[in-house]
A = this chain, B = another copy of it.
Amino acid sequence: MIKVTGYAAKHSFSRLKKYEFEREEATAHEVEIDVLYCGVCHSDIHQVKNEWSNTVYPCVPGHEIVGRVTKVGPAVRRHAVGDLVGVGCMIDSCGACEPCRCGDQNYCASPNSWLATYNGPMQPKAKAGGENIYGRDNTFGGYSNLLVVKEDFVLKIPAKLKPEEAAPILCAGVTTYSPMKHWNVKAGDKVGIIGMGGLGHMAAKLAKAMGAEVTVFTTTREKIEEAQRLGVDAVMEDDKKALERLATHFSFMLSTIPEKHDLNPFLELLQRDGVLCVVGALEPLAPVDNQPVAFKRRSVAGSLIGNLAETQEVLDFCAEHGIAPDIELIRMQDINDAYKKVENGDVRFRYVIDMASLKEEIDEAA
């Protein structure tokens, strides 16, 4: 066993605090990773607060992880000691179901679905008929100094990317990239991005690099200029005249708002056969009026992160196109304040934890 230090929440109402635990040594196909950076995703907050009613405590969040390989199991072929690597939302899947065989581990159809980087199987034992193919009811994520992960679930960080900037690509990046690829966003397409936070600003950058004409919708006046600096159009969500002008404009829209919201004002902005895909919220949304949906054969869809191949693809795509998320580095010890700011939309645009701060704390305690 390896002694590990992380930051955990013990209850839905508790702040994150230093937490010591153990990880199993790397087995044949696993690699050990010294964590350098970990992004702060809005879903970390949902999970810590048990807002999806499925949190297993203690909860060590973190699924936008960049680090350096420090050990490899004897059968590991993909990675070597010293490699800069990344780990996203998943660390295992059944490998046998139809989606897994198609490479869509993020839609693993086994009773437990995939194994999340933190919080254990997506479908815990109780929801999977008492079964747990992973043998682990809980998993501890990247808010920690060390990780052990199956090599197939470890991504390569391209040399052109700064490690700290690569971290948010592993969730915010692939979560927005995957649906844009799936619904075939291409050069010249008109794409609308609803919300401009961690996911939204990455979506805007990615869509622009794909050659799309991008418009961002925001409720924060200051973000209008920030979007324009990214080279995309921006509209206030409550600007009714602007919304009217954009009627039937978009072939694809992506909602990145991380909570319940009303899609109706955006439905009219879709072309015939247009798709509005919701990736931010995992909860009941406001009632959708089927009249604008049916009248132009529109669709409201959802999408969940992306598969491993897409995750590597978006990392490489970002390196190739010189794209990186806008980040603010924080110390591990400032995580509770950071959560408050994320909830208030007061971050431009993604906090990334510099794990050097955690290691200092470990050294001081030693």
Instruction: Give the residue of B99, B179, B283 whose beta carbon is less than 8 angstroms from that of A272.
Output: B99
Knowing A104-B272, A109-B272, A272-B99 are in contact, say whether A290-B299 is a contact too (CB < 8 A).
no
User: What is the chain B residue whose CB lies nearest that of A303?
Assistant: B297
Chain A interfacial residues counted at CB < 8 A: 39
Of A147-155, A273-281, A319-327, the one contacting chain B is A273-281
When chains A and B are docked, how far (Å) is the Cα of A261 from the Cα of B138? 37
A164 CB to closest chain B CB (Å) equals 28
- B302 pairs with A301, CB closer than 8 A: no
**In the complex, are the beta carbons of B302 and A293 less than 8 A apart?**
yes
Complex Cα–Cα for A122 and B296 (A): 13
By a CB distance below 8 angstroms, the chain B residues around A248 are: 109
Taken together, the copies of this chain in the complex come to 2
* A287 interfacial by beta-carbon distance below 8 Å: yes
B304 touches A294 (CB 8 A): yes
Chain B nearest Cβ from A176, distance in angstroms: 13
A284 to chain B, nearest CB (A): 4
Tell me, rounded to whole Å, the shortest Cβ–Cβ distance linking A323 to chain B. 24
Residues of B within 8 A of A283 (CB): 289-291
List 4 tightest A-B contacts by C-beta distance, closest first.
A294-B302, A293-B302, A299-B301, A284-B287
15 contacts between A and B (CB under 8 A): A99-B272, A104-B272, A179-B297, A275-B299, A284-B288, A284-B289, A285-B288, A286-B287, A287-B287, A290-B302, A293-B302, A294-B303, A297-B302, A297-B304, A300-B300
